[in-house]
Amino acid sequence: MGYEFFNAFLEAIPDSAWHQLTAGVYPITSVFPSTTVAALTSLWTARSPLEHGLIAYELLLKDLGLSAKMIELTPSVSREPDWLIKAGLIKPEEFMPLPLLSELLGGAGVEVYGLMYKPYWRSGLTQLHLRGVKPLGYFTLTDLMVTLRDFLNAQTDGPFYLWVYWPGLDTLGHMYGVDLIRLRAEFEEVGRLLRDLVLAGLSAPARDGLMILVTGDHGMVTTPEEATIMVRSEPELMRPLAFLPTGEGRAAFLYVRPGAEAEVRRYFAERHPGRFVVWSGREAVRGGLFGRGEPPDYTWDRVGDLIVVARGHNALYWGITPNQLRGRHGGVESAEMVVPLIRLKF
C-alpha cells in the first residue's frame, strides 16, 4: 500500500471508515528494492538490505551455483516450495544469520506473536524471519479480524508485540494492476472490519496501553503487458548476458559476459530510451542504493554487474511461465517507494 494510494483513497471516499480510524498518517520510505523480501527482512532484522543481503525475490546463490526464489526458497526453475531446505542446501538459521527482532524483544521480556495467512507459515521466507515467534493464523479477512480481536482481549498481562500480515492489496495489485475499484473496495472493507469487529469489541483492559500501527512494505505501479520487455525474446539483450537476470522485474540484476557491459547499456539506451536506468552494481552499493552499513560478501555477489531499474510503468520479464502480473514494485517511483505509517485511534 503506497502513501499516494492512501491519500487518494481518503479524498475519494469521504465517508470511509479510515477517516474515523486514523489518528495520524506519516509518509515513510520502503527500502530498495521496494519489495517484500528486502523490506520484511529489514523489518525483522533492523538492518538495511545491504547488510542482510536478502535484496530481492530472485537471487544468485553463488555458493550453490544457482538462482533461487527467496519466498519459496527453491531454485528459480522449480515450483516445489522449500526445495533448498529439503535438499539440505540451506539451513534457515545459517542462511540469514543476523539477530531477529523477535529474539531481541524476547530477550527483553516481550512476548512476540505473528498473525498471518495460515499457509504462509510454511513458506521458506517465514522460516527465515519468524524464528521464536508464536504463530497465529487465519484463512479469510473476517477470520483475521475476529482472531485479532480475541487475541487482544486475552492479552492483559505483560508487554507483547503482535505482527499482522495481510496480503490482500498486494495480491490484487499484482493480478489487476492498480485497479482503483478493486483496491479501494478491498481497503475499505479492511477499515470497516477493523472498526466494527476489532476496535468496537475491545475491552477496557485491552485498550489500556495499546498502540496499533498500519503500514505497507511497499507500494505498487501498474505494468501493462505492452510496457513489459520479454527478455527471452530479445536476442540483443540475451547475447551479452552470462545467464538470465535475477532480482525484480523493476529492479533487475544482470550478470554480463566479460567486456560486454557497454553492449547492455547501448541496448537500453538505443532500444528503450528513457524507460530504464542502468547502474553499475558496485556503484549502486557504494552509493547507498541498498542502504548504509557494511555488506557481507554475498551481497556483492547478488547485486550483479549491472542493475536495471524501471521508470514509469515499465518492467522486464524473464520467467519460464507466462507473465501474469499486471502490477509490480521493486523500483524507485514514489508510488512504490513511499508508504503510509498510520496510527489508529480507538
* Residue 316 located in a structural domain: yes
In the sheet that 22-29 helps form, which strands lie side by side, from edge to edge? 22-29, 338-344, 213-214
Q: Which three cell numbers stand for residue 21?
A: 480510524
Distance CA 250, CA 112 (A): 34
> What is the SS3 assignment for 193?
helix
* Residue 137 located in a structural domain: yes
Q: How many Cβ atoms sit within 10 Å of the Cβ of residue 83?
A: 18
What's residue 156's pLDDT?
77
* Residue 184 located in a structural domain: yes
Residue 222 has pLDDT above 80, yes or no: yes
Sequential DSSP letters for 226-290: GGEEEGGG-HHHHTTBSS--EEETTEEEE-B-TT-HHHHHHHHHHHSTTTEEEEEHHHHHHTTTT
Q: What is the CATH number of the domain that holds 260?
A: 3.30.1360.180
Q: Are residues 150 and 210 in the same domain?
A: yes
Q: Are residues 268 and 306 in the same domain?
A: yes
Q: Are residues 259 and 118 in the same domain?
A: no
What's residue 29's pLDDT?
98
Q: Lowest mean pLDDT: which of 38-52, 89-103, 308-322? A: 89-103
What's residue 276's pLDDT?
98
Q: Are residues 150 and 14 in the same domain?
A: yes
Q: Are residues 239 and 158 in the same domain?
A: no
Q: Are residues 202 and 340 in the same domain?
A: yes
Q: Are residues 340 and 321 in the same domain?
A: no
Residue 58 has pLDDT above 90, yes or no: yes
Domain residues for the domain of 23 are: 3-38+96-221+333-344
Residue 304 backbone class (left: φ over 0; alpha: ψ -120 to 50; beta: rest): left
Q: What is the pLDDT of residues 25-44, one digit of tens each?
A: 999 999 999 999 999 999 99
pTM summary value: 0.94
Do 302 and 246 form a contact (C-beta atoms < 8 A)? yes
Q: What is the pLDDT of residues 154-206, one digit of tens each?
A: 997 889 999 999 999 999 999 999 988 999 999 999 999 999 999 999 999 99
Please count the structural domains in the chain. Answer: 2
Q: Are residues 210 and 133 in the same domain?
A: yes
Q: What is the CATH number of the domain that holds 182?
A: 3.40.720.10
